[in-house]
Amino acid sequence: MQLTILGCHSATPRISAHQTSQVLEIKNNVFLIDCGEGTQVQLRKYKVKFNRIKHIFISHLHGDHYFGLVGLVSTFRLLTRETDLHIYGPKGLEEVITLQMKLGGSWTNFNLIFHELSSKESELIYEDDAVEVHTIPLIHRVYTNGFLFKEKEGERKLDMNAILNDNIDVAYYRKLKQGADVINEDGELIKNETVTNAPNKPKSYAFCSDTVYTESIVPIIKDVDLLYHESTFLEKHEHNAFPTKHCTAKQAASIAKLANAKQLVLGHFSTRYDDLNEFITEAQEVYEPVDIAAAGKVFTV
């Protein structure tokens, strides 16, 4: 599982401060999460293949999280894309995008499928053989969701030495991977756990931006491997955090600690800060390990 940060600054884009957008590669899926203005150029910069993106998740309808979406959809069209594109985001997103496509006389050759969200409870919004995506209801100035990406439990791993020793026919390998006991060539019952090993532990990633400090998300993201949590401010500006429904680095670290996250990545920095290392220092007082997001940075789990 690999997360690439395309942008992680809040509010207004600047020459070297790109707005929220990330690419998550997980079990052959390439998910785009949020899409601030200029995201398509960042995708090119970091060499993400456009046609591998089939699902886009939008947290909320503040511009710094989705004003780049309509341009990306238009570019997909100009690149003569034919693959379906699924977009998950708050109610209203379909109207915004289709209105602009209509006014430009720009209908797509591919299916543009909107999955509009309005529930205040966590819900399963995407599932395939290997991955699930759940919403994480956040508390912000407008309706907002984070997203929890979870690998499913994989198949058991064959212990080839034990299998050959036990004289098991190749026809049973699939059953073994699925956890079943089998009969070997000599008619003996072979217990599954004696010839297979447990699958790799499924990985998970939680994206939580934007939100005020809320412990309501802790049960949803419990034991997550990688947690991206917004920290727009440092504690010295905590008086700005609550009114604007944002968090400080310390608050983000508190959530990571409560949720027993394996790793915390901070992001959504206000452009007022020049030295982002202060975010690490502040968070580390509560929780380790912690890192800060930066455009182009890759986190591998």
Contacts with a second copy by CB under 8 A lie at 11-15, 37-38, 40-41, 44-45, 61-63, 67-68, 70-71, 74-75, 78-79, 90, 92, 95-96, 99-100, 103-106, 141-142
Q: Is 140 annotated as a binding residue?
A: yes
Tokens of 129: 């053989």
Non-local (6+) Cβ contacts of 151 within 8 A are: 1, 26, 27, 130, 131, 202, 203, 204
Q: From the CB of 208, what's the least distance to a second copy, in Å?
A: 19
Pick 11 or 139: Cβ nearer a second copy: 11
CB of 250 vs a second copy, minimal distance in Å = 25
Main-chain dihedrals φ then ψ at residue 31, nearest 5 degrees = -100, 135
Query: Two tokens at 257?
Result: 């600690």
Q: Is 84 annotated as a binding residue?
A: no
Q: Of the listed 64, 84, 223, 274, which one is catalytic? A: 64
Rounded Cα–Cα distance for residues 173 and 281 (Å):
51
Residue 55 in marked binding region: no
65 annotated among ligand-binding-site residues: yes
| Residue at token pair 């990688």 | 226
Q: Identify which of residues 7 and 151 has a Cβ nearer to a second copy in the complex.
A: 7
- Quickly list DSSP for 243-294: HHT--BHHHHHHHHHHHT-SEEEEE-B-TT-S-THHHHHHHHTT-SSEEE--
Q: Are 208 and 255 in contact (CB under 8 A)?
A: yes
For 172, other C-beta atoms within 10 Å of its C-beta total 18
The smaller minimum CB distance to a second copy, of residues 70 and 293, is found at 70
Does residue 186 have an active-site annotation? Answer: no
Considering the complex, what minimum distance in angstroms separates the CB of residue 32 from a second copy? Answer: 16
CB 54 within 8 A of CB 86: yes
Least distance CB 122 / a second copy (angstroms): 23
Q: Is 166 annotated as a binding residue?
A: no
**Which residue positions form the known binding site for Zn(2+)?**
60, 62, 64-65, 140, 210, 268
Q: Which residues are catalytic?
A: 64
Which residues are annotated binding-site positions? Answer: 60, 62, 64-65, 140, 210, 268
